[in-house]
Amino acid sequence: MSVIVFGSANADLVFPVPQLPAPGVTVLGEGVRSFPGGKGANQAVAAARDGAQTAFAGCVGRDAFAAVATQGLRDAGVDLSRLLVVDQPTGCAAICVDPAGRNQIAVAPGANLAARAAQIEDAALHPGLVLLLQMEVPPEEIAALVARAKARGARVVLNLAPPGELPEVTLRALDLLVLNEHEAAVLAGRLGCAAAAPALRGALGVDVAVTMGEAGTVAATAQGEVAVPAFPVVPVDTTGAGDCWCGVLCAGLDRGLPLRDAMRRASAAASIAVTRPGAASAMPVAAETDALLG
């Protein structure tokens, strides 16, 4: 059993600010810190720290930011044999974080746009695999990889973040679609349905989980709804919360947990992550999540 993540790797530049800047307003912060990030890399780190045998496929550039972008993956022991170095700048994110942990993020994708489905060989796509994808790499490559993975029996989880467009046939091929409330609203607008997990499942015919921050998570499956409450915490930085949730969810599914149990574990891990600065660097190890779950 294993998890492969196909996605982005970024260098995150985090600016703590007294308040998030409004359009046309300059806000002076207290400094800047650099962290490994990118939705794909964050999710791979989360899965690996939770104990899953994890590999990452993506691209970085030949610049100083590449070492920042991949440090979390290396520290977590993620297999990087499918990571390519290309002649484009490493992806970079500028993240403003206010004292309540809320954030604003701008991303320059750079080398992430060079990621190709062919980086994951057919032999790696098998029924014992959980394949996790997001939307910070080319959508046509996501669609191609989903088709290949499903043809070979892999379990495919897509985090539709950011909420880019994919062919409906690709969405219908998924085993699980994960969205936050904003992403659910965007997709619902395209499909002409309500932005709730049951309505989205009805429109697509696949299991759907909608994460709602402090309100918890609701999933709609063929067996009915699954609701998991959030763990109450005082957040410091919510940047990697959704990525932590997705990575730990897939680690749980990989080890055979039922969806409800995997969701609860993911929620516990995410609640730990938001109490720390950074994204990949904030992901908890399995023992921390075990302790919170009791």
Catalytic sites, residue numbers: 243
Q: Is 10 annotated as a binding residue?
A: yes
For residue 74, the SS3 value is helix
Q: Is 294 annotated as a binding residue?
A: no
Number of helices (H), then strands (E), in the chain: 9, 13
Q: Is 212 annotated as a binding residue?
A: yes
Q: Is 215 annotated as a binding residue?
A: yes
Q: Is 54 annotated as a binding residue?
A: no
Q: Is 216 annotated as a binding residue?
A: yes
Q: Is 283 annotated as a binding residue?
A: no
| N-term to C-term CA, the chain | 25
Outline where DSSP puts E strands in 9-144: 10-16, 33-37, 54-60, 79-85, 91-97, 103-108, 129-133
Q: Is 278 annotated as a binding residue?
A: yes
For residue 179, the SS3 value is strand
Determine contact, residues 224/201, Cβ cutoff 8 Å: no
Q: Is 273 annotated as a binding residue?
A: yes
DSSP 25: -
Half-sphere exposure of 232 (CA within 13 A, CB side): 0
Residues making up the annotated binding site for K(+) are 237, 239, 273, 276, 278
Residues making up the annotated binding site for substrate are 10-12, 38-42, 136, 243
Residues making up the annotated binding site are 10-12, 38-42, 136, 180, 211-216, 237, 239, 242-243, 273, 276, 278
Residues making up the annotated binding site for ATP are 180, 211-216, 242-243
